[in-house]
Amino acid sequence: MTRLGPEDIDLSLYPEGTRLDADGRLLIGGCAVEDLAAEYGTPAYLIDEGALGRRAEEYRHAFASRHPRSLVLFASKSFPSASVIGVTARAGCGTDVAAAGELALALAAGADPGRMVFHGNAKTDDDIRAALQARVRYLVIDNLDDVERIARLATEPVPVLLRVSPSVQAATHEAMATGHDDSKFGIPTPQVDAAIARIREEPLLDLRGLHAHVGSQLLALDQFDAEIEALAAFERFPVYDLGGGLGVRYVSGDHAPSVEEYAERLVSAVHRHLGTDVELLVEPGRSMIARSGVTAYRVVTVKRARLTHAAVDGGMGDNLEVALYGQAFQPSVIDRSGDAEVVEIVGRHCESGDVIAHAVTTVRPERGDLVVVPVTGAYCYTMSNNYNTALTPPVVFCHDGVSRLAVRRQGFDELLAREQLLPTRADG
């Protein structure tokens, strides 16, 4: 029988700097996960604040060193928390927002609106008013209705970008592909020239450049080459926003390009096709935050039959990536050794699709064990929900051995506060 211990956990999937202490306990940002679980409860999102800040600085330097007129914008939709946005802003990054709420969070974090881009495929008048009031750097036009709305609501010239669909079929999950001809995002290639002409009819719309985004969780860099080539087919502009999309490793067998490789490939293609004097923007989200976050759970029950199901105290209420995209994760029972077992790590929700990971080899789980899932920093908190009245987990920042609560756990009182209850009638 194979034995596994803490030393068998693939720490390369965890936040940079994750280690084991002398007792084999897993430390995130210098904090023992066991202690964090005792203090904050489970499930909980744990963020290594230092690792996130270093990643943001790495991104900023990778682009600025190759193309001084560049701006890295953290895609706040990947983790819409003022605390998280604040870390990236202090590291020198701007912010990409796609709704008035994300803008409000970014402003609360102290992020500079002059380093923000506001986009979205279905902006309301309220969204546009918020962007105009904040005076974001660029407001992205996604459709011709945006042209009418912005022109009607603007009282002074508004710098805008036009989002185009570059006709690139991304090699990713269908739900993450955004740059193909049938995408709901952007202006289809055959209509771009007419859209440019329409924007220029409005005296308060100042068209500065083009925006494109191929998709998410992209692991082949040639897809970005195709995006830039497609943009070069239109007239030249002083500003180009290439969106985000760089993929990350979720399990040990994955390979993802480094930030340096990504920056070198993009900047080289921009210089070759668009010139060296343009303003270049990129919008990393997943590749900025994913590895810096993990989720901690407790095992609630274990069923051993034809399959072994280890059920934890969270699930699709705090991680929809598996159910939506079939994303693979690599959870581990932590802080102890034991016989290896192939198990299904499942959640507590009344849904057969509530699975965190299939056929995972880990220490034979028992009730009360701590299970940690790495690479949950992106889109898990974003899509957290109240299925079966699950309370959304807290966000805990860890840095140099000190933890702090960044977002508190939701309470039942908050769920009930929204209910408009009728007075109870007396019997009889």
List residues with catalytic annotation: 350
Phi, psi at residue 298, to the nearest 5°?
A: -110, 140
Mode of pairing for the β-strands spanning 332-333 and 355-363: unpaired
Residue with tokens 């990236």: 88
Q: Which tokens belong to 53?
A: 């800040």
Q: Which tokens belong to 428?
A: 């009889």
Is-contact 16 49, C-beta < 8 A?
Answer: no
CA separation for the pair 61, 153 (Å, rounded): 37
Helix (H, G, I), strand (E, B) or coil at 268: helix
> Please, what sign has the CA dihedral across residues 205, 209, 214, 215?
negative
3-state secondary structure the chain: CCEECHHHCCHHHCCCCCEECCCCCEEECCEEHHHHHHHHCCCEEEEEHHHHHHHHHHHHHHHHCCCCCEEEEEEHHHCCCHHHHHHHHHCCCEEEECCHHHHHHHHHCCCCHHHEEECCCCCCHHHHHHHHHHCCCEEEECCHHHHHHHHHHCCCCEEEEEEEECCCCCCCCHHHECCCCCCCCCEEHHHHHHHHHHHCCCCCEEEEEEECCCECCECCCHHHHHHHHHHHCCCCCCEEECCCCECCCCCCCCCCCCHHHHHHHHHHHHHHHCCCCCEEEECCCHHHHHHHEEEEEEEEEEEECCCEEEEECCCCCCCCHHHHHCCCCCCEECCCCEEEEEEEEECCCCCCCCEEEEEEEEECCCCCCEEEEECCCCCCCCCCCCHHHCCCCCEEEEECCEEEEEECCCCHHHHHHCCCCCCCCCCC
Residue with tokens 């293609």: 269
Alpha helices in 178-258 (DSSP H): 192-199, 222-232
